[in-house]
Amino acid sequence: MNKYMLILFEDAKGYEGMSAEDYQKEIEMHMKWMEELGDHYDSGEPLEADAKTIKGVEKVVSDGPYIEAKEMVGGFYMIHAESLEQATELAKGCPVLRLGGTIEVRPVMVIE
């Protein structure tokens, strides 16, 4: 199996007006999905909203993430799958999509 990275783009508006019960359900869904992934799951990390961006030859540093945050990178998963198609199928189960988020699925380059 190959490794694939799932980059999670999240819409901050998706979380507006959520009640405690809503958060509860979201987390339960994520946990359920991770269970379902089973051996496909490799790792995952959430990312803080704090960010610095460094650009180009002049190494200009600015505050904040690279893209203006309607959709910010919220975290990533590393999963194992047989193909990009399978990885994409697996990624469909990730609950961020329900809140209007986007997932970019990228194969990790294998260097012989």
Interface stretch with another protein, choices 37-45, 59-67, 84-92, 104-112 (CB under 8 A): 37-45
Letters for 60-89 (x = contact with another protein by CB under 8 A, - = none) are --------------xxxx------------
What is the amino acid identity at position 53? T
Half-sphere exposure (CA, 13 Å, Cβ side) for 6?
A: 30
Segment lying near another protein (by CB under 8 A), choices 11-19, 50-58, 59-67, 104-112: 11-19
Instruction: Please name every residue paired with 71 in a beta bridge, in sequence order, or none if there are none.
Output: 11
User: Residues touching another protein: how many (CB under 8 A)?
Assistant: 26
> Position of tokens 């699925």?
105
Q: Does residue 15 belong to the site contacting another protein (CB under 8 A)?
A: yes
Start-to-end Cα distance in the chain: 15
Between 83 and 102, CB nearer to another protein: 102
Contacts of 67 (CB under 8 A, 6+ apart): none
